[in-house]
Structure formats: C-alpha cells, structure tokens
Amino acid sequence: MHFETLAIHDGQAPDPQTGSVTVPIFQTSTFERDDLEHRREFFYSRIGNPTRSALESTIALLENGRYGLAFASGVAATMAALHVVNPGEHIVAGNDIYGGSYRIFEQLLRPWGVTTSYAASESTESYAECITPKTKLIWIETPSNPLLQLSDIRALAALCKERGIVLAVDNTFSSPYFQRPLDLGANIVVHSTTKYLGGHSDVIGGAVVTSNPGLHTTIKNYQGAAGAIPAPWDCWLILRGLKTLKIRMKEHEASALQIAKFLQQHPAVKEVFYPGLPSHPQHELAKEQMSGFGGMVTFALKGGLPAVEQLIARIKLFVLADSLGGVESLISSPAKMTLWALSKEVRERRKCTDDLVRLSIGLENAEDLEADLLNALAG
C-alpha cells in the first residue's frame, strides 16, 4: 500500500468493541488480570497501552521497520537507542547534530564510560577515520541540524556492516515520507515525534524503529525499565498528525524551496543551506536517498549577529521559537537558541556561526512568508 494509506489505516483499525474509527484513548494506568497465573496483553501502562501500541505499529510501518517504540520526548528516544552501547565502548557521531544529542554524548554518556568522537557529517571517510576497535555505534543526522548537511546512509551502512557496528539515524528533519533509512541499510531510526510527525506544535514525543530483534529487545527493555513513555493522549495526538503527514510534508517542501531560492538571490544573504538547491554540495546525494528535501532552511547573513538581531526584531509572520515541523513558520538563531549551551569554541568548530538563521517553513502561503522576510531584511 501507499504511504498515505498506511498512515491512515494500518495499525489503526476501528475499535472492535465500539466501532470508533479513531483509536480510543485508553486513559488508564493499569488493567485487570484474569487470575494469578494469567495476564492479558496489556497489564500496566508503563509496559504497554493500546493507544501507544497503535502509534508504535504505525510509525514502524511508515519507516518500513518491524518494531516501533514510543517515548516521552525525542531525547528520551535518543537515550533509549544509545543504550545498545555499553560502558567502555565508543560512538562516532556527526559534528553537526542537535544540541540535545550532543549534551547526551558529553554530559550523560561520557561520565558513564561511553566516549564519542565527532566526524565531518558529510564525509564517509571522516566517519571511517574515527572508528576504533571499541566503536559500537555510528550516530548520524541527515539532513543535519542546523547546517542541513547530508550523510551518505547507504555508504555508512556498508561500512558499519563490514565493521560490525550499529548505524543509527535521526530522521526527524526528513520524516519517513521523504527518507527511509532502514531501506538504505541503517539499523535504528530515531524521531522526535514532537516535530513533523505530530505536526501541530501541541505535543512532545519520540520514537525508535528497528527491524533487528536483538536491538528491539534491548531498547524495549530500557523503555519499560526507565519509563520515559508518552501518555495515551500524547500518543493519540501524534496518531492524528500522522494521518496528514504526506500532504503537510509536500507543502512544507514546496514553500521551503521557494523561500530558499528567494534568499539565495537576496543581497543581504551570504549563503543558503537547503538540499533542494542545485548549489547545495550534496544535492545529488539528496536526490538519491531522499524523495523530497524537507521544510528546513538555514542561511547566513552578511552582517553577522547584528543583522540576525535586526531580522528577528522586524519579522512578523515567523514566530521566534525553538522546535520545528509545525503548521506555523518558526525562526531561530542556532547560536543563541538551539545550541546556546555549547561553548563558542565548540560552536565554531561545528561551523555554527553567529550569522546563521534557521527557518522551519510552515503551511502559510509562501508568498506571504517571502514578503515577511523581504520586509525584515530591508536595510
């Protein structure tokens, strides 16, 4: 079946008891047991809940994976996926990654005895050079945050298979509509379902998908033991968002491409980062491993931080806020917002300079968004 059909039907059959066409919200902490010797499929909501199970099944299907697991946030999902690594082992991560993931690597895992090296996100050779005999996992974001660099999933999957390493991909920026890392050889896919999968800026959540039974068992055991699970209502909201994922992603992409082309021609703009532009150094790779280019656009201003501050002060339609992937367009300064906790030295090493602006293109009319940016960039 096609993607949009799976998003609406599979894993979400009408309720057999009432005929409800939407999955009910099972707002319960516990379930009755038959007797001391037998229990039903669901017995305690930290371990499993029918609403959460529907969400997990649907996300797994959309990623073309066997097993889906839902979490209370994107970083909870990240932490769960990283628990396939043990103390004394090593991770290689891209150097352009979400600040929350970087904090997990440095503030949580390193004191625990798991070390991380950082490779150039766009270079398979750089990842290979960082591998040691203790490397257990390679972690990539593609496209990356905030520079929208691409990692070659298929090439890295081949490298990992050869070395006996797990490949985990944060697929939040693309969504499973535009990219399916498991089909390209990855072992684990992670999402912040807060973003495009939820799609309405009204819920926090995360998900992990894999087709490997051993990895699934390890991550599911962590899910039950650590307990960072989403509430039934949150699961229902994300299920609702998934039903419109295809049409939203197509609109996000169309407007993002228009905005990226506009910015590329503006005299105040130094550089535009968007995989859908032919000028993007990995545009051909984007066409190979993605079916669309997404709704995120990052650009650098010639005037540096003062120009960024002026732009943000003058913007009207774009909301100054963290996060991304909702129906409303958002604007942020990566250096001052999403990566603020990193030292200036670390940010500069990652090429996250003060002149960067990150846009999450929403579902407003693209001409209105372009006019807003034109006015804000004036002068």
Q: What is the DSSP string of 127-183?
A: HHHH--TTEEEEEEESS-TTT-----HHHHHHHHHHHT-EEEEE-TTTHHHH--GGG
DSSP 296: E
Check 52, 195, 220, 350 and give the catalytic one.
195
Separation of alpha carbons 135 and 231, rounded Å: 35
Check 170, 234, 354, 372 and give the catalytic one.
170
Annotation marks residue 316 as catalytic: no
Separation of alpha carbons 253 and 104, rounded Å: 30
Annotation marks residue 322 as catalytic: no
Using DSSP bridges, classify how beta strands 188-191 and 166-170 pair: parallel, antiparallel or unpaired: parallel
SS3 call for 112: helix
Separation of alpha carbons 127 and 245, rounded Å: 32
Separation of alpha carbons 314 and 304, rounded Å: 16
Whole-number Cα distances in Å, 365 to 186, 252, 268: 36, 10, 23
Check 44, 46, 136, 202 and give the catalytic one.
46
CA 330 to centroid of chain Cα atoms: 16
Closest CA to 259 of 145, 367, 331, 379: 367
Check 67, 98, 222, 274 and give the catalytic one.
98
SS3 call for 73: coil
CA 178 to centroid of chain Cα atoms: 12
User: Under a CB-based contact definition with an 8 Å cutoff, are residues 193 and 70 in contact?
Assistant: yes
Annotation marks residue 222 as catalytic: no
Annotation marks residue 46 as catalytic: yes
**Can you say whether the dihedral through the CA atoms of 28, 34, 36, 37 is positive or negative?**
negative
Backbone angles phi, psi at 313, to 5 degrees: -70, -30
Q: Which ranges of 199-314 would DSSP assign to H, the alpha helix?
A: 213-226, 232-242, 245-265, 283-289, 304-314
Active site residues: 46, 98, 170, 195
